[in-house]
Amino acid sequence: MPQRVNPRPLGYKKLLRRLEPYGVMEVPYRGKGSERMLVRPDPATGQGPRYFIACHGEHTMIGVRTIRAILRRFAIDADQFWSE
């Protein structure tokens, strides 16, 4: 039986590195103030789901509930994401 990993908050920079293999990236110069825009573009159209996240620096801790919302928006399997 595979061991279940307990989700934990991640720093913003680490979260971006973990999302990169799934095709999610930050769009520079988008969002207002301290908001950053994450997007997973469709290769054919360049458009795709977006998620705005508050970030007050590269080491801002992003909570588990926010990470779960991001995973739902981008249709990423949570068990696979947390097991990496």
Q: What is the pLDDT of residues 20-73, one digit of tens each?
A: 999 999 988 777 778 889 999 988 887 889 999 988 888 889 999 999 999 999
What per-residue confidence (pLDDT) applies to 23? 93
Q: CATH no. for residue 61?
A: 3.30.920
pTM of this prediction?
Answer: 0.86
What per-residue confidence (pLDDT) applies to 3? 59
Q: Which domain holds residue 52?
A: 10-83
> Phi and psi of 39, rounded to 5°?
-145, 150
- Is there a domain that residue 4 lies in? no
> Has residue 1 got a pLDDT over 60?
no
> Phi and psi of 18, rounded to 5°?
-75, -30
Cα angle vertex 66, ends 63, 68, to 5°? 110
Residue 74 burial (CB count, 10 A): 19
Q: Give the chain's domain count.
A: 1
What per-residue confidence (pLDDT) applies to 70? 96
Helix (H, G, I), strand (E, B) or coil at 39: strand
